[in-house]
Chains A and B, each alone.
Chain A
Amino acid sequence: MTDYIIEAKGLTKRYGKKLALNNFNLQIPFGGIHALIGANGAGKSTLFRILLGFESPTVGETAVLGMNSEQLSPEMRGRLGYVNEEHSLPTWMTAGEVTKMQRNLYPNWNQKVYEAVLGNFDVEPTQKVAELSRGERAGLNLSMALAQSPELLILDEPTLGLDVVAKQAFLEALMHTETETNTTIIYCSHQMEEIERVAENLIIIENGRVIYTASPDDFCERISYWICDFDEGVPELSSIPGILSLKKIEQQYHLMTVDQQAEEFKEYLLSVGAENPVQAPVNLDKAINSVLAKNHKSPTELV
């Protein structure tokens, strides 16, 4: 038996000229809540579709629960949960019918969790799915996904479009599900506040590759922020060790770096003519932003 609930080896997926995944490698151990973070188009949704066997990779292979994604049996699929960002459900059925169908399909169905999450939404069993608002549809879909108590739950931007109360209730149920039923949860989100509260592990992807995996705290510790003057001219960007970004704001330069010892980096800055270098604290939002901004498409400088 494998030690990982998800394994991807040398995964490449090409759509025409575009590489959605580029020699992508990932191993996720059993348990915990893992947040997948990346810019738009980084390859998150493609990865999910390949993991679940909805699409085939151009090169490479993936396994979930130790089984090749392209050979998942119906029995295996019953042990996986997936919620896509559109929350697509059969529009012609009523909420009650959809729920009943799911309850019969999943042996570990947890009615208590279902009611705890759905209770935050004004959804009547007799209402047709087509009549629900986007938020209500999300609520119904997420309640069912959590109630399935799957071994692996994959969520693509689950809280997008939920109001504050519904979001809070969903996140509580998510954390409850993880601890009570040992579900491993992989989810992607752009909301740092939520990730900081919920995720134990970050998987940061960029241009179809994993660039970092670490706990939020460990990740933050690797990133540093320096502010200084360069009156005699700025060093060549590529010559600065560990540089992620360099920005000029009025007369001062703002540098984000990775894996640089504070003392050593300060020495370095002084040696290349920096004046008054000051290290500023970094929060998770800024740390993630700095690594994603490095190769992000951006227009010309604003200031």
Chain B
Amino acid sequence: MSDKIEEWDRVIEARKPERPKALDYINYIFEDFIEMHGDRYFGDDKAVIGGIASIENIPVTVIGEQKGKTTKENMERNFGMPNPEGYRKALRLMKQAEKFNRPIITFIDTPGAYPGLGAEERGQGEAIAKNLLEMSSLEVPIICVVIGEGSSGGALAIGVGDKILMLENSIYSVLSPEGFASILYKDSSLYKKAAKEMKITAKDLKKLGIIDEIIKEDNILENTKKAILKDLKELLKLNKNELVENRYNKYRRIGKGEEDDIK
């Protein structure tokens, strides 16, 4: 798609049911993916998938937020909205990746963390917070790819890494344009305006320094594979200290404010 496309059209594109989902990427990019289940505390969240696999003979841990392509699949996957146990499963697998020195690749695609009663009872906020803290200092490379809709803390919870990639027509936002419009414009029908003002496209976010690379969609799965491989090889050259220190600095410089002029 060209640069002329309106922001809202990208939102529609990013949410399209027929767009490739996390499992499509995983099955195409990696060999012998073995899925692992459960957070060891409460249950297995089907909105988050994870396991081990390899890419060009490099063993990796892969994690993804999984939406469905049909209503039935979406019901099963809770429309890609994780509960706390989904984030805790992801963290369990990531800590394991660190133990066995495997790089981590995550695929982000969620309308947000599930805002349900049980999710609150089981500490949705704590689960997300814990992932942010742990991911910031894991001593293995982390590559995060926003493949569709990356919304809010529910996306960030598997999105702290060394390289943040975005598909050309994916979006990444602090909340949905609809939510933004209803809160800030007090008019939910202004979602198109919100989509424009919020700076949620790959191009805008690259300009803001929030993401590192944009993946073209002419050959969506193959391009994503190439981008991941390129970054992976680069990151594997760094030692653990460099890796963690670079990651810290990457987030450290986002949004620093400005000192007042001396009066």
The answer to whether A and B belong to the same complex is no
Residues of A within 8 A of B (CB): none
Residues of B within 8 A of A (CB): none
